Structure 1
Amino acid sequence: MTEQSHDMDQVSRSITINGRRTSIRMERSVWQSLSEIAENEEARLRDLIAMIDDIRGDNGLTASLRVFIINYYRAHSIMQPASATGGKKAGSPRIEAVLATLR
């Protein structure tokens, strides 16, 4: 099996979001991307997922996570690094801008 096919493997994770337990199933590469975003923004993964959950409305959580990742990397490609603007943590301008695209 190639490394690329491993990236397509589905991975389930059980997490607690805002006091409720849920299971999320996504491709390994999607989880890795979400973890990279959290690390880049100095946020905990569960806090980032909770922020996305808070604003997703009637949309599914898994789909909202995928859309957030796409929008983050789109915004990241055109915005200056968060470190240049003085902030990274959860609630940083970059995360807030991407969350706004999901509202």
Structure 2
Amino acid sequence: MSGLIKRSVTIAGHRTSVSLEPVFWDALVAEADGEGRSVNALVAEIDEARTTNLSSAIRVWLFERRGG
């Protein structure tokens, strides 16, 4: 499956939705698990540093994190 999946996350106490391809959701969950954190906590950290839309920021963060 290569289509987008939309999921809700909570950032700073309010909910928002993020649309990512399944491979990015899998990578995001793996990174959060590897750090012993929730996906919400990891997305909140990415959100604080972003300069583009949240979905793009997550993709770039994962790409850089995984040696891209």
Q: Fold match, TM over 0.5? A: yes
Written as runs of structure 1 = structure 2, the 5 A alignment for 1:29-48 is 29-48=23-42
* 1:60 match: 53
TM-score of the aligned structures, taking structure 2 as reference length: 0.90
Greater percentage in helix:
1
Query: Aligned-pair RMSD on alpha carbons?
Result: 1.3
Residue 73, structure 1, aligned to residue 66, structure 2: yes
The one-character-per-residue Cα deviations of 1:63-96 (angstroms, maximum 9, x if unpaired) are: 0000000011018xxxxxxxxxxxxxxxxxxxxx
* 2:7 match: 13
Gaps spanning 5+ residues in structure 1: where?
1-5, 76-103
TM-score of the aligned structures, taking structure 1 as reference length: 0.61
Q: Deviation above 4 Å: which 4+ runs of structure 1? A: none
Gaps spanning 5+ residues in structure 2: where?
none
Q: What is the number of residues matched between the two proteins? A: 68
Structure label with greater radius of gyration: 1
Greater percentage in strand:
2
